[in-house]
């Protein structure tokens, strides 16, 4: 197939897309016959066949043209879209942030679980996670708790039927993540989950229940799996008066975990931050690192290691911090813009811990 033929057919395709059927038909005839026609066919002459000719020949041009030595690239614009997922355990809506991209290289995915009374848009604003995802090149999934499932839009971390693999909200959320992975270019070794308060408690449950899916966990002002099994025990756990968390059934080995908690949190007692790491099987930690945010808020950071001495967890205690996302944007609810940036630190920790 010569260059002149391809050029003529490209022109015919352009005319066809612009609605010029007669001119397109004439261009096809010139290309196939090798010479221009003296008279263009009447408007009633084979207009439908002209459309088929353009489509058919365009397909042949693509098939028969020599392969371009450069890899094909697909440019996609940035998007923040709404979606819905349902399986046998229930249904939930979600929002999905996708950065602009020029190819189909697999990207990391971070799942962000909002706290009580929040929704995906509020949580996205408050954590500034979309801006970080744009800069680092990753997707962010924001599942939305249904008010029908919980009047305050809390994830039901405290109910025994929402604490195990294959049951309740953990099964819904894991299924939602897998659906997004099946329809986007996601790196399966770099899928992470984080959350605030009730969302943090559910993130911890997901990490324990699906260590084959989530490479690492981020828990901000949350609670350990098994901290409660009903509403009374939930309030006891949040107040710090509950016994050591019961390890729920069907939980695997927890992935690497990063915990943020304010030591002045009056909603979820800060003892729960330590219990999260204890439930994850972390037993040793190196010397503490002390510092302060740019706004002067002090913090203490402990690095926890496993039996082989590998870094497996971080615990950030925000001194004077309350029940709020540290370093968050004040346009979102439950944020403290003065503290160290929990979103940035979680992403740093996540990307340093791919699964496997």
DSSP state letters, 19-66: T-HHHHHHHHHHHHHSS--SSPPPTTSSHHHHHHHHHHHHHHHHHHSP
Buried b (16+ CB within 10 A) or exposed e, 218-240: bbbbbbbbbbbbeeeebeebbee
Average pLDDT over residues 206-220: 96
Residue 234 predicted with pLDDT over 50:
yes
Q: How confident is the model at residue 279 (pLDDT cuts 50, 70, 90)?
A: confident
The C-alpha atoms of residue 180 and residue 186 are separated, in whole angstroms, by 8
Q: Please report the pLDDT score of residue 277 as a whole number.
A: 86
Buried b (16+ CB within 10 A) or exposed e, 327-344: bbeeebbbbbbbbbbbbe
For the entire predicted model, the pTM comes to 0.78
The strand pair at 216-220 and 257-262 is best described as parallel
The C-alpha atoms of residue 195 and residue 260 are separated, in whole angstroms, by 10
The C-alpha atoms of residue 153 and residue 151 are separated, in whole angstroms, by 6
- In this predicted structure, which of 15-29, 41-55, 217-231 has the lowest mean pLDDT? 41-55
72/270: higher pLDDT = 270
In the structure encoding, which two tokens stand for residue 223, read together? 């609670």
In the structure encoding, which two tokens stand for residue 302, read together? 């402990």
The domain ranges of the chain are 3-64, 79-351
Question: For 76, which DSSP code?
Answer: B
| CATH 3.40.50.1820, applies to 79-351 | yes
């Amino acid at each position: 197939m010569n260059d002149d033929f391809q050029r003529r057919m490209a022109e015919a395709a352009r005319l066809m897309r612009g609605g010029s059927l007669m001119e397109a038909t004439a261009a096809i005839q010139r290309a196939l016959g090798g010479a221009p026609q003296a008279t263009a066919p009447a408007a009633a002459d084979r207009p439908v066949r002209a459309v088929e000719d353009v489509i058919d020949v365009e397909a042949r041009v693509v098939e028969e043209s020599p392969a371009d030595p450069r890899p094909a690239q697909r440019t996609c614009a940035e998007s923040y879209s709404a979606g819905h997922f349902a399986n046998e355990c229930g249904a939930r809506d979600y929002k999905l942030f996708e950065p602009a991209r020029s190819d189909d290289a697999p990207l990391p995915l971070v799942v962000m679980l909002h706290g009580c009374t929040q929704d995906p848009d509020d949580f996205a604003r408050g954590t500034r996670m979309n801006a970080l995802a744009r800069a680092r090149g990753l997707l962010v999934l924001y599942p939305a708790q249904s008010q029908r499932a919980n009047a305050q839009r809390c994830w039901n971390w405290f109910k025994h039927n929402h604490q195990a693999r294959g049951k309740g909200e953990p099964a819904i959320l894991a299924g939602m993540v897998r659906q997004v992975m099946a329809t986007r270019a996601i790196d399966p070794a770099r899928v992470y989950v984080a959350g605030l308060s009730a969302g943090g408690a559910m993130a911890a449950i997901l990490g324990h229940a699906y260590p084959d899916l989530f490479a690492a966990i981020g828990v901000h002002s949350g609670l350990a799996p098994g901290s409660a099994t009903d509403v009374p025990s939930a309030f006891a756990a949040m107040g710090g008066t509950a016994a050591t968390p019961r390890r729920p059934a069907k939980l695997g080995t927890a992935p690497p975990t990063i915990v943020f908690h304010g030591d002045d949190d009056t909603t979820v007692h800060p003892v729960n931050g330590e219990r999260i790491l204890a439930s994850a099987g972390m037993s040793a930690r190196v010397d503490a690192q002390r510092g302060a945010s740019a706004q002067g808020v002090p913090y203490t950071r402990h690095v926890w290691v496993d039996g082989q001495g590998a870094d497996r967890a971080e615990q950030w205690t925000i001194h004077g911090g309350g029940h709020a996302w540290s370093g968050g944007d004040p346009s979102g609810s439950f944020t403290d813009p003065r503290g160290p940036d929990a979103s940035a630190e979680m992403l740093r920790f996540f990307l340093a811990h791919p699964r496997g």
